[in-house]
Structure 1
Amino acid sequence: MTPQPLVTLHLWGVPRRAVPRAALRMASVRPALGRLPGLRFAKLLGTGDGRTFTVRDADPRRWGLLAVWDDDAAADALDGSPVAASWRRIADEEWSARLRPLAARGRWSGREPFGAPRPQRWDGPVAAVTRARLVLRRAARFWSAVPPVSADLHEAPGLRMALGIGEAPLGLQGTFSVWDSSASLNAFAYDRAPHAAVVTRTAREGWYAEELFARLAVLSSRGTLDGTDPAAG
């Protein structure tokens, strides 16, 4: 049986003067990242506020790395690696979380990065990761549908933090959010009218060429994001 993976998300905030160097790191750290033992999957990410999923959302002062590891020891090695050191040389803020997959469906770049975990109970805070590759000829309809859902998301009870994530400014869209509990995430996903309407339209209109949704247990977090640790509640 394949061991259950450990997932990490790192977010680095950089001062405005370091934005060009941060953009360069999106390419320059890839070789060193690929050499880390125990790494199953990794995506270097730009971030944004996720309100429109267009370039208007982009936050050039915050960058991320989502990674899937064989175990805790493999994830520990990232902290002492040239990859982390390179980001820390230019960062003025860092936040990270360790996560365990609770449920996942779909693919990311043709892979199932979080495996196929069996449904399980988790009483602590949970994170949700969504990612989609748009069918470009249908992108305009997707972008027009996003603002009501995003506005509702940021007002949803139990939401601790949410941001847009993406591997490219356009066409590759995703979100990362942290919630008080599975119940609060379920209430947004299934009971809030704007989100339910978009789910129906997605299936009917075929907006995505590839999509993924994952729910993850928040095992631990450290550091700050805009001065606080959002996973701490």
Structure 2
Amino acid sequence: MSTPAHTPTVRLHLFGVTPARIPSAIARMGTTRWSLRGLNHLVFSKLLGTAAPTTFTTTSADPLHWGMLTVWSDAAAAEAFDASRAVRSWELIAHEALRMTMLPIASQGHWSGRQPFGEPDGSAGRDHSGPVAAITRARLKASKAAEFGRASEQVAQALREVNGLLLSTGIGEAPLLLQGTFSIWESAQAMREFAYSNPAHTEVIARTPDIGWYAEELFA
């Protein structure tokens, strides 16, 4: 799977399961990888656990909700994916599901050494009005993880009180070190105000170059 050369179609599926279905969900985190292999036009995929967007610790993990992120070079293939074995297997055990289709308007950084959303510079979103989604993902340095967890507490508190936030959840490929967030905002302006004007968030941004929390990071 290569970095997309054109604007890709991004799909995020979130599945909610009952406590009795948690073992089945854990099993699907392994088996779904095989179902995704070799799919035409699939350029990037990640199976994700979720967490309450409050702390970056194992105690905030949410075993009742799971995610599947896929990136496609063809919009029709992304739409057809809903009928695939991978999606159907999750729907069989889920009591609720949410599917989001997105087009990247800006992306910086890398995820597993890749640029899964291409290199949009934001110009495509200048005329966009309405809700926007944001994905952050970081591979934390082990030596900095505890310090980052403490620093993120105030950011999490600010998220609970911010205006314009419609949905927020923690996401990650593993309970430790590989972590991120997915959020939906009423507008790009609301998202920017939090990212660049909220004191708790801007403090973490300002400290990042000096402390070096991340071995790898992405914001889209």
RMSD: 1.1
Query: Which of 163, 178, 183 lines up with 2:184 in the alignment?
Result: 178
Q: How does 1:62-141 map to 2 (within 5 A)?
A: 62-120=65-123, 121=126, 122-141=128-147
Q: Name 2:50's counterpart in structure 1.
A: 47
Q: Using the TM superposition, give the Cα deviation of residue 32 of structure 1 relative to its aligned residue in structure 2, in angstroms.
A: 1.0
TM-score normalised by length of structure 2: 0.95
Contact 2:6 2:118 (C-alpha < 8 Å) held by counterparts: no
- Aligned equivalents of 1:209 and 1:97: distance in 2? 29
Paired residue secondary structure (1:29): helix
Q: Using the TM superposition, give the Cα deviation of residue 109 of structure 1 relative to its aligned residue in structure 2, in angstroms.
A: 0.1
- State the identity %: 50
Q: Name 1:231's counterpart in structure 2.
A: none
Of 113-122 and 98-107, the range deviating more from structure 2: 113-122
- Aligned equivalents of 1:119 and 1:147: distance in 2? 29
Q: Map Cα deviations across residues 190-209 of structure 1 (whole Å, 9 max, x no partner).
A: 00000000111112100100
Query: Which of 14, 17, 22 lines up with 2:20 in the alignment?
Result: 17
Q: Using the TM superposition, give the Cα deviation of residue 101 of structure 1 relative to its aligned residue in structure 2, in angstroms.
A: 0.4
- Aligned equivalents of 2:77 and 2:160: distance in 1? 34
For structure 2, list consecutive stretches of 5 or more residues without a partner in the other structure. none
* Letter matched to residue 198 of structure 1: V
Q: Using the TM superposition, give the Cα deviation of residue 154 of structure 1 relative to its aligned residue in structure 2, in angstroms.
A: 2.0
Contact 1:36 1:78 (C-alpha < 8 Å) held by counterparts: no
Q: Name 1:142's counterpart in structure 2.
A: 148
Query: Which of 9, 30, 33 lines up with 1:30 in the alignment?
Result: 33
Paired residue secondary structure (1:140): helix
Contact 2:5 2:118 (C-alpha < 8 Å) held by counterparts: no
Contact 2:47 2:173 (C-alpha < 8 Å) held by counterparts: yes
Q: Name 2:202's counterpart in structure 1.
A: 196
Contact 1:132 1:174 (C-alpha < 8 Å) held by counterparts: yes
Q: Map Cα deviations across residues 113-170 of structure 1 (whole Å, 9 max, x no partner).
A: 0000132211121000000001101111101111110110121110001000000000
- Aligned equivalents of 1:154 and 1:26: distance in 2? 29
TM-score normalised by length of structure 1: 0.90
Paired residue secondary structure (1:17): helix
- Aligned equivalents of 2:144 and 2:163: distance in 1? 31
How many residue pairs get aligned? The number is: 214
